[in-house]
Amino acid sequence: FFRDTAAFEALKSQLEEIAARKPAGEEFRVWVAGCATGEEAYSILFSLLSIFKRLGREPNLKIFASDLDQEALAQARSGLYDEADVADLPAEMRDTYFVANGRFVEVRKSVREMIVFARQDLVQSPPFVRLDLVTCRNVLIYLSQNCKAGFSKFFTTPCGLTEFFTSENPNPRRPIFSPPSIARRKSFAAWIPCTEACR
């Protein structure tokens, strides 16, 4: 959870700006591409829930988390993790979002239900649209350069963020413009102009 803490802190500051600008009640839409066993998707959800709480607004969230691996998706849906996986989380966060389940901890059902976990082939399946945030960390490095370039038009948000590792720019001929506070991180959230693919 919260892999690369510094990058997550930088990302959260940008997410708070987007959330504050959105009209009350408007859906905040996120796509976590290559979600694996779900830790990043849940980390983003926890961050957004805390942001909306600070803003004094009811969260209206839709988080899509996709992967090819059915076993990984099954674990993500279950929300079951070892105690060691959450040992570094603040006690308040553990108490708020997890319950004990035998020798495991489990993401509370009401929280799990905010995420739609789905099998998806990034090469063949259409992307999700009208997104405020797309994360695809440790995903594009496994694809050919042609596939990466093709994804650049999909991993674009109307007024939001796309997060890559710095080595994962889907189109190296096209610079990614990012806030300086984030661009210096190992991974970053990058502002990218809107395309018709997101409308």
Q: Is the pTM of this model over 0.95?
A: no
**54 vs 29, 48, 65, CA distance in Å?**
19, 10, 25
What's the pLDDT at 77?
97
- 23-27, 60-64, 75-79, 163-167: least confident range: 163-167
Question: What CATH code is carried by the domain that includes residue 147?
Answer: 3.40.50.150
pLDDT in the model for residue 53: 94
pLDDT: which is higher, 170 or 93: 93
pLDDT digits (tens, 9 = 90+) for 56-92: 999 999 999 999 899 999 999 999 999 999 999 999 9
| pLDDT exceeds 50 at position 113 | yes
Contacts of 129 (CB under 8 A, 6+ apart): 197, 198, 199
- Domain extent, residue 62, equals 5-198
pLDDT at position 48 over 80: yes
Please check the confidence at residue 123 and state whether its pLDDT lies above 70. Answer: no
Residue 125: pLDDT over 50: yes
8 phi and psi angles, rounded to 5 deg: -65, -40
Q: Is the pLDDT of residue 154 over 90?
A: no
What's the domain count of the chain?
A: 1
